[in-house]
Amino acid sequence: MNKTYSIFRHEFLQTIKRTGFIILTLTLPVLALLGIGVFCIVAGAAKPPADATRIGYVDEAGGFDKYIIQGNLTLLRFDDREAATSALMNKEIAEYFVIPADFISMGVVSRYTMQRELSPPAAITDAIKNFISSNLLAGKVPAISIVRIEAPLNLVTTMLTSTGAVAPEQGGFGNFIIPGIFSLLLMFALLFSSIYVIQSISEEKENRLMEILLSSVSTRQLLTGKLLGLGAAGLAQVAVWVISLQLLLELASSSIGGIFSTIQLPASFLVLGVVYFVLGYSVFAVLSACVAVISSTAQEAQGFASIYTLFAMAPLWCFSLLLLFPNSPVWIVFSIFPFSAPVLVVLRLGLTGVPAWQLIFSIAVMMLCIVGGLVLAAKLLRTYVLMYGKRPSMGEMIRNFRNKIKTAD
The model's pLDDT over 110-138, given as tens digits with 9 standing for 90+, comes to 999 988 887 888 888 888 998 998 888 88
User: Positive or negative, the Cα torsion across 63, 65, 70, 73?
Assistant: positive
Interval 11-22: pLDDT, tens: 888 888 888 788
Phi then psi for residue 149, to 5 deg, are: -65, -40
- Same-domain check for residues 74 and 195: no
Phi then psi for residue 138, to 5 deg, are: -60, 130
- Same-domain check for residues 192 and 288: yes
> What CATH number does residue 133 fall under?
3.40.190.10
Residue 389 lies in a domain: yes
- Same-domain check for residues 234 and 104: no
Give the pLDDT score at 176: 66
- Same-domain check for residues 144 and 214: no
State which of 89, 120, 150 marks the end of a domain. 150
Which domain covers residue 96, as residue numbers?
Answer: 54-150
Residue 13 lies in a domain: no
- Same-domain check for residues 110 and 187: no
Q: How many helices (H) and strands (E) does the chain have?
A: 16, 5
Residue 159 lies in a domain: no
* pTM exceeds 0.75, yes or no: no
- Same-domain check for residues 102 and 240: no
Single-letter amino acid code for the residue at 301 = A
- Same-domain check for residues 234 and 364: yes
Judge contact between 341 and 332, C-beta under 8 A. no
User: Which residue, among 162, 165, 166, 170, has the nearest Cα to 350 in the 3D structure?
Assistant: 170
- Same-domain check for residues 237 and 131: no
Characterize 214-249 residue by residue with b for buried, 16 or more Cβ atoms within 10 angstroms of its Cβ, and e for exposed.
Answer: beebebbbbbbbbbbbbbbbbeebbeebeebbeebb
Give the pLDDT score at 395: 59
**Length in residues, the chain:** 409
- Same-domain check for residues 107 and 190: no
- Same-domain check for residues 206 and 283: yes
State how many domains the chain has. Answer: 2
Interval 64-97: pLDDT, tens: 988 888 888 899 999 999 999 999 999 889 899 9
Residue 158 lies in a domain: no
Give the pLDDT score at 96: 94
Three-class SS state of 389: coil
Low-confidence residues of the chain: pLDDT under 70: 1, 42-52, 153-162, 166-176, 211, 253-266, 319-320, 323-324, 384-409
Measured between its terminal Cα atoms, the distance across the chain in Å is: 29
